């Protein structure tokens, strides 16, 4: 399908809404993306016509849902370039995926005196689970810093990795700075010393995508709702050799082979990590979101989002006293900023009244705020359905707010 942003927008019903009598300019896709009609219709069909638990019935509806659920797993496998559906675990989201690894991998392989490496630019979901693990295990959490431009200092990894390092955890794209670290350098540095790598792909899978086989990461986590799918569903990719050695994260139905009071045996991958009633509606709809995205040329999406980023950056940079955080050359379509003398919450509230939805606050990345000695930022995050006109509206709105507040 040729890239036609107006045609794409017509596929997203919410984008035709008004806010306070003004057209909605939704610039908060980094928090959650809007849903195309194909995803909405799939969820509606499942609730209206095909609602039955998966893996647990021989009747038509259950078997149909099971087939759709496993087809979604296969769609995700192809989308991220994994070798087997045994390596694709459905979770509640990226947070659930990372916690699964921290608990299961960490419980099996991390010991007192070991260390785990994360980075200064991570979302809290790729910091706090590792802090909790290190507290339980009396291990050390080491932090790879970034510079003031927002570039991750990957050259310092060799200083941090030693014989007691058990895993390196890194984002594919910062949800605040837009920075896309050199993951090849991270993976190679870790693997040279036999250390596995977990990648938080929440933003990266949307802005550029991934081939986990080519990247050779050991774990990859992402959420469906940032990829134009529903909330409450996510994916953990894990190399089979790691998942086989890791104990289950939760116990219950569907993750077992046999159960008796003498002992329990566990299901084969990936079901070993999918305890309880699956969010089959979310998983199937995520599969539909993936199919929707595959209708477009990724290079055209990237070019469109780059144009949005450049327009917003150029227009915002012309405003007196405005600072953009994260200025690396290859950043994705995220712009976080502050204006001298203007509180980000005041800025966000005025933009909201103008119909412009941005995110304000710490963005679940308090160490990033600490790095820049600020308590919060405004963030505009773009998606394939945004327009250059919306980038202009953002800049015009910020300029108007500055005139009002300073």
DSSP codes of every residue in 362-392: -TT-HHHHHHTT-S-EEEEE--TT--HHHHH
What is the β-pairing status of strands 263-266 and 256-260?
antiparallel
Residue 343 pLDDT greater than 80, yes or no: yes
pTM equals 0.98
Burial grade of 245 (CB within 10 A; 0-12, 13-18, 19 or more): exposed
Check if the beta carbon of residue 271 is closer than 8 Å to that of residue 249: no
Confidence label for 267 from pLDDT (cuts 50, 70 and 90): very high
Query: Which pLDDT band holds residue 336 (cuts at 50, 70, 90)?
Result: very high
364 in active site: yes
Catalytic residue among 134, 332, 364, 378: 364
d(CA 399, CA 322): 10
In whole angstroms, what is the distance from residue 145 CA to residue 324 CA?
19
CATH of domain 5-29+297-405: 3.90.1150.10
pLDDT digits over 70-107, tens only?
999 999 999 999 999 999 999 999 999 999 999 999 99
Residues 266-271 have a mean pLDDT of 98
Q: Is the dihedral of CA 120, 196, 208, 70 positive or negative?
A: negative
Cα 80 to Cα 69, 75, 184, distances in angstroms: 17, 9, 16
Q: How confident is the model at residue 325 (pLDDT cuts 50, 70, 90)?
A: very high
Residue limits of CATH 3.90.1150.10 in the chain:
5-29+297-405
Annotate 350-385 with b (16+ C-beta within 10 A) or e (fewer). bbbebbbbbbbbbbbbebbbebbeeebbbbbbbbbb
CA dihedral 367, 372, 375, 376 (to 10 degrees): -90
pLDDT (0 to 100) of residue 390: 98
User: So what's the pLDDT on residue 1?
Assistant: 60
Contact 339/316 with Cβ under 8 angstroms? Answer: no
Nearest Cα to Cα of residue 156 among 184, 131, 185: 185
Please tell me what DSSP assigns to residue 337. Answer: E
Instruction: Give the chain's mean pLDDT.
Output: 98
Nearest partner of 392 among 25, 21, 3, judged by Cα: 25
Residues 144, 182 contacting (CB under 8 angstroms): no
Strand extents, DSSP E, 307-374: 322-325, 334-339, 356-357, 359-361
Residue range(s) of every CATH 3.40.640.10 domain in the chain: 50-293
**Whole-angstrom distance, CA of residue 303 vs CA of residue 152:** 24
| Amino acid 401: pLDDT | 98
- pLDDT at position 380 is 99
In a 3-state reduction of DSSP, which class is residue 88?
strand
- pLDDT, residue 2, reads 72
Each residue of 18-69: pLDDT tens digit? Answer: 999 999 999 999 999 999 999 999 999 999 999 999 998 999 999 999 999 9
Residue 87 phi/psi, 5-degree rounding, is -95, 5
Question: Tokens 């014989």 sit at which residue?
Answer: 163
What is the per-residue pLDDT for 379?
99
pLDDT tens-digit series, residues 284-306: 999 999 999 999 999 999 999 99
Which pLDDT band, with edges at 50, 70 and 90, does 406 fall under? confident
Report the alpha-carbon distance of residue 89 to residue 179 in Å, rounded.
27
End-to-end CA distance of the chain: 46
CATH number of the domain at 50-293, out of 3.30.300.340, 3.30.1330.30, 3.40.640.10, 3.40.605.10? Answer: 3.40.640.10
Give the tens place of pLDDT for each residue, 132-152: 999 999 999 999 999 999 999
- Looking at residue 132, its pLDDT comes to 98
């Amino acid at each position: 399908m040729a890239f036609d942003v107006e045609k794409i927008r017509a596929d997203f019903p919410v984008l035709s809404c008004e806010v306070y009598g003004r057209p909605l300019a939704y610039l908060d896709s980094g928090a959650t993306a809007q849903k195309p009609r194909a995803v909405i219709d799939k969820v509606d069909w499942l609730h209206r016509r095909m609602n039955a638990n998966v893996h647990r019935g021989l009747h038509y509806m259950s078997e149909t849902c099971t087939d759709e659920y496993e087809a979604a797993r296969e769609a995700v496998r192809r989308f991220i370039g994994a070798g087997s559906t045994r390596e694709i675990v459905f979770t509640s989201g990226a947070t659930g995926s990372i916690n699964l690894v921290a608990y299961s991998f960490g419980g099996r392989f991390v010991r007192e005196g070991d260390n785990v490496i994360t980075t200064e630019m991570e979302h809290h979901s790729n910091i706090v689970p590792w802090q909790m693990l290190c507290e339980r295990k009396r291990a050390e959490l080491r932090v790879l810093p970034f510079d003031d431009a927002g570039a991750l200092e990957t050259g310092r990894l060799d200083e941090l990795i030693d014989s007691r390092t058990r895993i390196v955890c890194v984002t594919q794209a910062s949800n605040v700075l837009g920075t896309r670290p050199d993951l090849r350098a991270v993976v190679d540095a870790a693997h040279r010393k036999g250390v596995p790598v977990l990648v938080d792909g929440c933003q990266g899978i949307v802005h550029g995508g991934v081939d986990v086989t080519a990247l050779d990461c050991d774990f990859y986590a992402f959420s469906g709702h940032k990829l134009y799918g529903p909330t409450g569903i996510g994916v953990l990719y894990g190399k089979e050799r790691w998942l086989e050695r890791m104990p289950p994260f939760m116990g219950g139905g569907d993750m077992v082979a046999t159960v008796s009071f003498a002992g329990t045996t566990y299901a084969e991958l990936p079901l070993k990590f999918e305890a309880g009633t699956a969010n089959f509606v979310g998983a199937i709809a995520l599969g539909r979101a993936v199919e929707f995205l595959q209708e477009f040329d990724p290079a055209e999406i990237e070019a469109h989002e780059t144009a949005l980023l450049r327009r917003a950056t150029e227009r915002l940079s012309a405003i007196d006293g405005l600072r953009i955080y994260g200025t690396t050359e290859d950043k994705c379509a995220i712009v976080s900023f502050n204006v001298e003398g203007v509180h980000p919450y005041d800025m966000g509230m005025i933009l909201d009244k103008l119909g412009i939805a941005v995110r304000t606050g710490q963005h679940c990345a308090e160490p990033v705020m600490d790095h820049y000695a600020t308590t919060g930022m405004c963030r505009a995050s773009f998606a394939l359905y945004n327009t250059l006109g919306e980038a202009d509206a953002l800049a015009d709105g910020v300029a108007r707010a500055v005139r009002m507040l300073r």
